[in-house]
């Protein structure tokens, strides 16, 4: 991805996007992506990953990894997840955090581009089980900013943690803002 840094930065700038980053990133973190309201979020996120000096993997539904797209998605850093049944994904990812010295995993908290009653709790359960911080990432169409906003350490108090996360995302807008799910765990 380092070879793509210059071209990715150029494309983002040409398209009118500002790249944002943390002054210092933790070595390991669950990275949450919100809001996720458009198919355009994916290519913009990939451009941001390439533009930042950043190595991260991302979670996508397993149907994206079928056929010829499988090797392409994995090559772009994708990790398939079966959302239809319990597969021990949280536990496997927590173990992966233990095995690695550096690991960032991006998860779209809503699990879909459609309006939901709240967020899926997998990111939270992974971060607590692996004892790693959470980084808030955004593709903000209102401000035309893409990148990383802040990092927090979860306390285990879901209400307090989600309130802190909500503050970070305050005023951030997805492409279809009305499709952004409320910031609360289901």
Domains in the chain: boundaries: 2-20+27-141+153-179
Listing from the earlier edge strand, what are the strands of the sheet with 28-33? 18-20, 145-152, 134-140, 28-33, 103-108, 57-61, 78-81
pLDDT at residue 174 in the model? 95
Give pTM, 2 decimals.
0.89
Dist. CA 69–CA 123, nearest whole Å? 25
For residue 118, name the pLDDT band (cuts at 50, 70, 90). very high
Structure confidence at residue 1 as a pLDDT band (50, 70, 90): low
pLDDT at 81: 79
Nearest to 128 by CA among 181, 180, 185: 185
Structure confidence at residue 136 as a pLDDT band (50, 70, 90): very high
Please say if the pLDDT value at position 37 is more than 90.
Answer: yes
Q: How far apart are the first and last CA of the chain?
A: 35
Q: Mean pLDDT over residues 134-159, rounded? A: 97
- Express each pLDDT in 163-184 by its tens digit: 999 999 999 999 999 999 999 9
């Amino acid at each position: 991805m380092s070879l793509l840094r210059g071209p990715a930065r150029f494309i983002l700038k040409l398209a009118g996007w500002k790249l944002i980053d943390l002054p210092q990133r933790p070595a390991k973190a669950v990275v949450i992506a919100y809001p996720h309201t458009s198919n355009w979020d994916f290519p913009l996120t990939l451009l941001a990953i390439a533009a930042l000096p950043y190595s991260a993997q991302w979670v996508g539904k397993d149907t994206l990894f079928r056929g010829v797209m499988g090797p392409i998605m994995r090559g772009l850093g994708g990790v398939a997840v079966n959302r239809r049944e319990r597969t021990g994904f949280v536990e496997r990812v927590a173990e992966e955090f233990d095995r690695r010295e550096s690991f960032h995993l991006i998860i779209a908290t809503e699990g879909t581009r459609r309006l939901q009653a709240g967020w899926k709790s997998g990111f939270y359960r992974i971060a607590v089980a692996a004892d790693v911080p959470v980084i808030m990432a955004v593709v903000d169409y209102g401000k035309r900013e893409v990148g990383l906003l802040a990092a927090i350490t979860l306390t285990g108090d879901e209400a307090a943690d989600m309130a802190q996360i909500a503050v970070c995302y305050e005023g951030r807008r997805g492409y279809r803002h009305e499709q952004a799910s409320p910031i609360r765990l289901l």
